[in-house]
Structure 1
Amino acid sequence: MSVVKWIKIWFVLVLIIPLVGLFNYIVDPYGFNQLVIIKKFNSIKESNAGFTIKYKMPQLVKHEWTNLMLGSSKIGVMDNHVVEHYLGGKTFNMDQPTPVMPIQFDAFMYAVNYNDVKNLIFAVDFLSFNKNLKLNRDYVELKEKVRAYEHFSNIDLYLNTDTLKKSMEVIKKNLSGTAKKKLHFYPNGMREYSNYIEAYEKGTFDLQKNINKHLKLYFDPQKGIYSNYEYSDDFMTLVKKIVEYCKINDINLYVYISPLYVEHFHAIKEAGLLDEFERFKRDLVKITDYMDFTGANPITSNKNNYWDSSHLRIEQTKEVMAKLFRDTVFKGYEGFGVFVTPNNIELHLKEQRNQYKKINLDKILIKA
């Protein structure tokens, strides 16, 4: 190829690449900048949940977060503003999809490196201790940058052809009226199930079907999140490191286990995971006291409090945080949540064993 042709190609690329980046930045298919929102053009976007690290870490370097909410997606659906009502300051929700403990630990250390965190609300999740749980690609690709506390740039996201394809899809779906709302994160880290909310408002949301679908997602023997569950002591050691860091650095710590829908709670036993579930709770209380919201109680027994088998609706944040922060003014739901200490752990587990009911998990999985 002649020098002239190389120069022409180079000149075209120099022109095209910035234009592609600008186009992607304006369309903003994943909702990273929200700079230009035009109805029937780009107002309904793709989910940004596949870019948790790239989306959330830049928010953390702003040095403005006093409170940190840490855990899996189960804490992600909790309302940051309720936490701020009790604790003051600004709150960031550091929930992680595929929330294996090493991801949560790295996210915590990144957050405290850039922020003067005074309070940590930590929803410790049983599924996070499965050493065989596959790590999400976003974390695998970027974990070394997270551990090095590097700043993140999204320029590469705007300058690639995959994003260009997604931008074109977003425009096409918005113009045709076929775009559907999807799960997304807010700049404060909260997650919102916009897809569920949209279906609910249209009267097309089938709650029981969605519960069954998620029970399959968790408990399918071959592909479920709990399949091939192998409890990791090393992952619990990371919890201990977080607790110790909070003690050394005067960070107030509030630990809880999220309230699973009662069918999900029963399914843990039906799937043969009860011994590991109880081991998880015993090991956790050796490190810190915590509030256990699992079991059969006034919140978990009402499926209308949930979007699926494990994610509460945002309206239930008040009940969770009122119990967690020992709000003496808050009344009702006396049976919701047990404060667990080394002195009552065995009694608590014994009482919970009496709450389990046999369900036909195989039938549920087939119907899902």
Structure 2
Amino acid sequence: MKNNMNSKKWIKILAVLCVLSFGFIGGINYLVDPFNIFHTKFLKEQFQMNERFMKIEYLEENKNKYNSYMFGSSRIGTTPPNVIDKYLENAKFYNFTISSANLYDYLIHLKYFIKSEYPIKNLYLQIDISNMASYSRTESDYLRKPHPFVVGEKLEKYYLSYLSGFFPFNIKGKIAENINQKDLVGYYLETGIWTRPLKEKKIKENPEKFIQEERSFNVQNKRVVKNTQSENNSKALKEIVDLCLKNNINLIIFTTPHNKNMMDTFILEDYLKFLKMISSIANFYDFTGYNTVTTENINYYESSHYRENVGRIIAARIFNDKSIEVPEDFGVFVTKDNIDEHLENLRKQIEEYDLKKTK
């Protein structure tokens, strides 16, 4: 009898401790709000933000302000929508840049926009070459969890997952960002863009010093990224193209001008196969490779993200804007008829570039 009473006592103590622990973790998650889900603003500066949640939340109230969308990973996020607006009649673009986006993200959001009757006249779609090795999202990736409306889940369950989760890295990062404020990122929901004002200031003050001090520009990378998601990416891209045709959406596809240091991570033949896959489904503008823009580090904040000026010359090439100077070797319009010639040119270009690096 005594043992039974002791067992009940310990069960109650354990239950109380569990409740207190959950309350403590939930309180920290709510106050610090590492992904800006609850908008508590206890800490003003945002270290990371779940753009998939924030932007759908914003667009649900403001979708009729826009009739065109820019889809891409964070790399398209530095391009203001008005850069594209001027080239298409009565266009009002929104930059739907979302962290580490891949073709799965573009497909589920396009489906949701159509289903929810978002006005869409134009879709300006940027595809990263790194997408050849990625598809879908994991349940544990809280920074990139889709909005519950997009995947048909309950909002309450979504909030609870962010209250009860364990996010030491993200919490520490946000607290440090608010104390140190070394590399602030500005997020602008009305346009969808993000900015890096402190890095921009450093670049303008002393570009040579910036390049010397930016670690990602000064490392030697190996070609390790493979084309592992060919089937998934092919199906998703074809469905995106079909949805645009069916819904009378003007689709413009182009590839990301990755910095030379990021280009160095792609296995040559896998990268070329990925481009060929795109060309088999749709025409596109290819800005990849080692060209005047991608080999100049000053066009980038680090080896992953290009600056606003690059977004402007991408658009100038696509829309044939003669008022903006675009390097001759930057941007090729690719079709299934010229893809083989284009790939052969890229292969020679890359082999020559690799040869120069070894000398």
TM interval, short-chain normalised: 0.7 to 0.9
1:249 to 247, 250, 258: 247
Give the aligned partner of residue 366 of structure 1.
none
1:91 aligns with 2:97: no
Between the aligned partners of 2:280 and 2:173, the Cα distance in structure 1 is 51
Over the aligned positions, Cα root-mean-square deviation in angstroms equals 4.2
Structure 2 equivalent of residue 209 of structure 1: 215
Structure 2 unaligned regions, length at least 5: 1-7
1:314 corresponding residue in structure 2? 308
Structure-1 residue corresponding to 2:52? 53
Note the 1:195-274 alignment, pairs <5 A.
Answer: 196-197=199-200, 200=203, 205-206=210-211, 209-212=215-218, 216=221, 219=222, 226=225, 229-265=227-263, 267=264, 273-274=267-268
Structure 1 equivalent of residue 131 of structure 2: 128
Indicate the larger mover: 66-75 or 159-168: 159-168
* CA distance in structure 1 between the partners assigned to 2:274 and 2:341 by the alignment: 16
Instruction: Give the deviation of 1:100 after TM superposition.
Output: 3.6
Q: Does 1:337 align with 2:331?
A: yes
d(CA) in 2 for partners of 1:192 and 1:173? Answer: 15
Match of 2:106? 104
Shift of residue 160, structure 1, vs aligned partner: 5.7
| Alpha-carbon displacement from aligned partner over 1:279-323 (angstroms, at most 9, x marks no partner) | 111121111111111123332232211122242111222101111
TM-score, normalised by the number of residues in structure 1: 0.72
Q: Deviations over 1:194-225 (max 9, x none)?
A: 56447657867445522245x75xx585xxxx
Distance 1:137 1:209, change over 3 A: same
Distance 1:184 1:60 in 2: 19
- Paired residues, what number? 334
- Partner-residue secondary structure (3-state), 1:189: coil
CA spacing shift, 1:116–1:152, aligned 2, 3 Å: farther
| Pairing 1:28-67 to 2, within 5 Å after superposition | 30-31=35-36, 42-48=43-49, 51-62=50-61, 63-64=63-64, 65-67=66-68
Cα distance in 2, alignment partners of residues 95 and 125 from structure 1: 12
Q: Residues 136 and 24 (structure 1 numbering): CA distance in 2 closer, same or farther, change over 3 Å?
A: closer
Check whether the contact 1:53–1:139 (CA below 8 A) recurs between aligned residues.
Answer: no
CA distance in structure 1 between the partners assigned to 2:176 and 2:332 by the alignment? 50
Residues 119-143 of structure 1 deviation map (CA, whole Å, 9 limit, x = unaligned) = 1011122221225897473479955
Report the Cα distance in structure 2 between the residues aligned to 1:130 and 1:158, rounded to whole angstroms.
Answer: 28
Q: Gaps spanning 5+ residues in structure 1: where?
A: 364-368
How high is the sequence identity, in percent, across the aligned residues? 24
